[in-house]
A and B are shown apart, each in its own frame.
Chain A
Amino acid sequence: MQDYDVFSRCHPAVNFLFFAAAIVLTVVLFHPAYLLVSLLCGGAYYAVLRRARCGRTFGFLLIAMVLVAAVNPLFNTLGETTLFTLFGRPYTWQALCYGGCAGMMFAAVSLWFLCGGIVMTSDKFTSLFGAVIPAISLVLVMVLRLIPGYWRKGKQIAGARKCIGRSGAGTRKEKIQGGMDVLMALSGWALEGSVVTADSMRCRGYGAPGKRTSFQIYRFTGRDRFITALIAVTLAAAIYAAAGGSARAAFIPAVSVAEVAGFRPILGLAAYAALLLIPTFYSIREAILWHSLRSKI
């Protein structure tokens, strides 16, 4: 799935920086043009990551977007242009615009979070914070391992009990009792396991005096440095433009959106788009590169 995705093979710090920037800017720059750019770039990267399986998410987000836009005027009746009245309340053009932007923001942020979830795997997350606080990162790692483990064991216990006629099906009371029994067995098993785990940890020197270190499997390479610089430059340009008011937008009482014209606003939007397209750009370049390499063989 991610064979061509260079960005997910970058250092976790780079990934984290990018997604933090993308999500924060999407929320802060509440301007239709910027939101549209964020939405499209997020959609593009999500499509790169998920390939053919992105359709359902896109459909769902589109419906959510339309719904937020349409529903917002029902609650927010401010604004000077009334389109029509519904249940005796004005349904205004300004509230509809605001709803449309809010819908776009919701969809764009969702997309960035979804991409972040795919790229920032649990081990990247823990290794990133392990460098700062080893103890907390270890706890996180152990929890990440135990939760799916408990889930699997719980299912196994329920299956085993079903095979001796204790499936816990039947009346509600029997169901509750059945669930309690599985939980009891699970807690006994977990306790037993945790004793062994504790022994195994102490066997390997956990708690020995001296500082604990954290093994870093990811290395900060030249490419990571380059991408970080790229993020920094585009981010700075976007912030520079936004600080000058090119991303300003007000909806109430009248819609007043900063125009995208002149040097600063155009630079800002272009930089914003460039920033958000970094992962997609690298993926596509890699795909083309491989394709041309293969055709030469």
Chain B
Amino acid sequence: MAQFAIENLTFSYPTDPEHPSLREVSLQVEQGEYIALCGKSGSGKTTLLRHLKTVLTPHGNREGSILYDGAPLDQADLRRQSSEIGFVMQNPDSQIVTDKVWHELAFGLESLGCDQKTMRLRVAEMASYFGIQGWFHRDVAELSGGQKQLLNLASIMAMQPKVLILDEPTSQLDPIAASDFLNTVKKINRELGTTVLITEHRLEDIFHAADRCVVMENGRILADDEPKKVGQLLYTQKSDMFTAMPAPVRIFYGAGESGAASPLTVREGRSWLTEKAAGKKLRDTLPPQPEFPEEIRDPALEVKEIWFRYEKDSPDILKGVSFRVPKGTLFSIVGGNGTGKSTTLKAICGICRPYRGKVRVDGQDTAKCKDLFHGKLAMLPQDPQCLFVKKTVREDLEEMLPASCPDKDRRIEDMAKLCDITALLDHHPYDLSGGEQQRSALAKVLLTEPKLLLLDEPTKGLDSFFKRQLAGLLHRLMTEEGVTIVMVSHDVEFCAEYADSVSMFFDGQLLTTNTPRRFFAQNSFYTTAANRMSRHLFPQAVTAEDVVALMKENQLT
């Protein structure tokens, strides 16, 4: 008997009865399965998952049935659903209820009224399994995003659920924390036999681990099969979702292969490629990218030996950061968590005042410049929600222009068109999806007409489709408006594809800067999946397109 059996589920929100969010969805979930649910933002993934727990089920018109263990789901009472169906949401912070790690672990057990002895044992067990002992007594506010999300998972696992449902659990995490988290989920599935249903943008980490991959589009299930077959199906249907597939899959079909035997991991891709190239003499004919210039004249931004610490007695966060950014380029900074990347951006803006060193924007010292944020410099913060203060996106944009501005409406319309948010202008900012919020916030920032734009993790939580839109927008800004962009990012793939230069940040310093191909070709770990898969044959190839082009060039297709 299936654990969950969804039959012909159709659902529409009361605000929009004409366009159902789910259309005739039927899905069987067997005990112990690992199911990856993917689809573009707004395809109905979250709505579907929330139907699997009665307390989270949205209000609206519903048809069809959901069976849990053979009986209608709503007949299972709150106690049973709470302990048996675990649900992890997107936002690591808001999900946490209490102020201490140990208390959070015990929260669910307290609600169920467990006695002290049981609670002690379960909490201890979970803390050990998840490696939480080291921070068991800490305040939750001191934890990193990855630790918070792991805590959320652990506090649900303490209730010993049979099914674990995860709704984009890693969208707010950096790639290393995200893959740690997803490995833990996989471990739970393999070792405890807990059924897992997960939605995720980062298919690289879950695609190969999943037993089944379910693809959704416009509220319908488009595909429901093994990952390899789903890859094939999306390719033959020329679906938008194909761009979200892991690099090995994209390279496999890009090179003209067909069939359902595509490699899913870097390791599989590597051996497939080696086999293809066996006995052939290869030429690496990608056009060489120039070295990043040593000497930059008239830079858009010059950072000179800045030092910063948060408190008098705390250690230095920035230890003499120096770099120059040439005009009209996309300058990206990568590096691990907590190395000081975001602090560097804050120091450039003056939110954090460096105690030594200088920052010059377009040749002007920022410490002496009064109208820095009017037409010279602007920053898009990591959390775009920080910028929304009004009830609609339009009002939020109007706030940026002086009341006396004669062509106010026209400028807002133009900006909305540029950022592709015309249809969203009358929505509440909080009702938008992550990608839409990102673009609305960007529109707001761009109304200050900055010559230098700082972006802090702009691709966080965006799906592959929105990322490409963002890249297009940035490109237009650089070529048409002559804007210089400095971007801090964890997204190695994005930097490799769209940046003009990539810099490595480590231990409070900017170590090296180079053009993407030269930069990634030297790294063996901090590089793209496509490069890791093909570096033994094509050391210069960093994107899937590069690899495909070289394969065609060498007649490996």
Question: What 0/1 pattern do residues 201 to 219 of A give for CB contact below 8 A with B?
Answer: 1111111111111111100
Partner of B79, one of A134, A142, A205, A211: A205
Q: Is the CB of A193 within 8 A of B79?
A: no
Give the residue name and chain of the B residue nearest to A196 (CB): B94
User: Is A161's CB within 8 Å of the partner chain B?
Assistant: yes
The residue in chain A whose Cβ has the minimal distance to the Cβ of B53 is A203
Cα–Cα distance between A200 and B390 once the two chains are bound (Å): 27
Within 8 A of B (CB), among A129-177: 134, 138, 141-142, 144-145, 148-149, 152, 156-157, 159-167
Tell yes or no: A224 within 8 A of B by CB. Answer: no
Instruction: Determine whether the beta carbon of A134 is less than 8 Å from that of B388.
Output: no
Q: Is A196 within 8 A of B111, CB to CB?
A: no
Bound: A156/B390 CA distance, A: 17
B445→A164 contact, CB < 8 A:
yes
Which residue of A142, A157, A165 is within 8 Å of B378 (Cβ)? Answer: A165
Please report the C-alpha to C-alpha distance between residue A145 and residue B98 in the assembled complex, in whole angstroms: 7
Q: B548 in the interface, Cβ–Cβ < 8 Å?
A: no
Q: Give B488-546 interface residues, CB cut-off 8 Å to A.
A: none
Closest Cβ neighbor of B93 among chain A residues? A193
Are A208 and B79 in contact, with the CB atoms below 8 A? Answer: yes
B403 contacts chain A at the CB level, 8 A cutoff:
no
CA distance A144 to B390 in the complex (A): 28
A165 contact set on B, CB distance < 8 A: 373-374, 378, 448
Q: Are B112 and A197 in contact (CB under 8 A)?
A: no
A204 and B155: CB pair below 8 A? yes
- Chain A residue numbers with a CB within 8 Å of B4 are none
- Would you call A212 and B349 a contact (CB within 8 A)? no
How far apart are A56's CB and chain B's nearest CB, in angstroms? 15
Does chain B have a CB within 8 A of A192? yes
A159 / chain B contacts, CB cutoff of 8 Å: 346, 349, 351, 381
Is B110 part of the contact surface with A, judged by Cβ < 8 Å? Answer: yes
Whether, in the assembled complex, A185 has its beta carbon less than 8 Å from a beta carbon of chain B, the answer is: yes
* Contact pick for A203, options B87, B373, B381, CB 8 Å: B87
Chain A residues in 8 Å Cβ range of B445: 164
Q: Does B68 reach chain A (CB closer than 8 Å)?
A: no
Given known pairs A159-B346, A185-B388, the reply for A216 and B116 (CB within 8 Å) is: yes
**Complex Cα spacing A90 to B175, Å:** 77
**Would you call A213 and B346 a contact (CB within 8 A)?**
no
B444 at the A/B interface (Cβ < 8 Å)? yes
Q: Nearest chain B CB to A115's CB is how many angstroms away?
A: 21
Residues of B within 8 A of A20 (CB): none
**Is B99 touching A122 in the complex (CB atoms < 8 A)?**
yes
B447, closest chain A residue (CB): A164
**A123 within 8 Å of B (CB atoms):** yes
Q: Which of B53, B83, B94, B381 contacts A156 (CB 8 A)?
A: B381
Residue among A141, A164, A210 having the largest count of chain B Cβ atoms under 10 Å = A164
Query: Nearest CB to that of B85 among chain A residues?
Result: A203
- Given the complex, which residues of B lie within 8 Å of A142, measured CB to CB? 97-99
Whether A164 pairs with B387 at a CB distance below 8 angstroms is: yes
CB distance B115 to A205 under 8 Å?
no
How far does the alpha carbon of A156 sit from the alpha carbon of B349 in the complex, in Å? 13
CA A130 to CA B112, docked complex, whole Å: 16
Q: A142-B98, A209-B79 are in contact. Are A184 and B389 (CB under 8 A)?
A: yes
Per-residue A-contact encoding for B51-73, CB less than 8 Å = 1, 0 else: 00101100000000000000000
Q: Which residue of A lies closest to B90 (CB)?
A: A196
B119:A215 contact, CB within 8 angstroms: yes
Which listed residue, B79, B100, B386, B400, touches A123 by the CB 8 Å rule?
Answer: B100
A145, B108: Cα distance in complex, Å: 18
Q: How far is the CA of A141 from the CA of B94 in the complex (A)?
A: 14
Main secondary structure of the interface of A (DSSP, over half): helix
**Contact (Cβ within 8 A) B141 A149:** yes
A interface bracket (residues with beta carbon within 8 Å of B): 35 or more
- Contacts A162-B351, A164-B448, A165-B374 known; A206 to B95 CB distance under 8 Å? no
Give the shortest distance, in Å, between A144 (CB) and chain B (any CB).
Answer: 5
Residues of B with C-beta under 8 A to A145: 96-99, 140-141
B82, CB-defined interface residue at 8 Å: yes
A185:B89 contact, CB within 8 angstroms: no
A162 CA to B349 CA in the complex, in Å? 9
Instruction: Determine whether the beta carbon of A207 is less than 8 Å from that of B119.
Output: no
Tell me the minimal C-beta distance from B136 to chain A in angstroms.
9
Once the chains bind, are A199 and B89 in contact (CB under 8 Å)? yes
The minimal Cβ–Cβ distance linking A41 to chain B, given in whole angstroms, is: 29
In the docked arrangement, what's the CA distance between A213 and B430, Å?
A: 36
Q: Look across to chain B and name the residue whose beta carbon is closest to the beta carbon of A163.
A: B379
Instruction: Select from chain A the residue with minimum beta-carbon distance to B123.
Output: A215
Within the complex, what minimum Cβ distance (angstroms) separates A153 from chain B? Answer: 8
B351 pairs with A205, CB closer than 8 A: no
Chain A nearest CB from B366 CB (Å) reads 12
Contacting pair A202 B55 (CB below 8 A): yes
Cβ of A189 under 8 Å from chain B? yes
Complex CA distance for A201 and B112, rounded to whole angstroms: 12
A287 to B141, CA, bound (A): 32
A70 to B103, CA, bound (A): 49
The residue in chain A whose Cβ has the minimal distance to the Cβ of B444 is A164
B114 on the interface (CB 8 Å rule)? yes
| Residue from the list B100, B123, B140, B389 in contact with A185, Cβ < 8 A | B389
Q: Are B102 and A217 in contact (CB under 8 A)?
A: yes
Whether B107 sits at the interface, judged by CB under 8 Å, is yes
Inside 8 A of A148's CB, which chain B residues have their CB?
A: 141
B429: nearest chain-A partner, CB-CB = A188
Question: Inside 8 A of A215's CB, which chain B residues have their CB?
Answer: 102-103, 106, 109-110, 116, 119-120, 123
Contact with B along A81-110 (1 / 0, CB 8 A): 000000000000000000000000000000
Residues of B whose CB lies within 8 Å of any CB of A are: 53, 55-56, 78-79, 82-83, 86-87, 89, 91, 93-100, 102-103, 106-116, 119-120, 123, 140-141, 152, 155-156, 159, 346, 349-351, 373-374, 377-379, 381, 383, 385-390, 399-400, 429-430, 444-445, 448, 454
5 pairs across A/B with beta carbons < 8 Å?
A145-B96, A145-B140, A161-B386, A196-B95, A215-B103
7 nearest A-B residue pairs (beta carbon): A205-B82, A165-B373, A215-B106, A204-B108, A196-B94, A163-B379, A205-B111
**A interface residues (Cβ-Cβ under 8 A, vs B):** 122-123, 134, 138, 141-142, 144-145, 148-149, 152, 156-157, 159-167, 181-182, 184-185, 188-189, 192-194, 196-197, 199-217
Given A163-B373, A207-B111, 16 other A-B residues pairs in contact with their CB atoms under 8 A: A123-B99, A141-B97, A145-B97, A157-B386, A159-B349, A163-B349, A164-B400, A204-B155, A205-B79, A205-B82, A206-B107, A208-B111, A208-B112, A213-B119, A214-B110, A215-B102
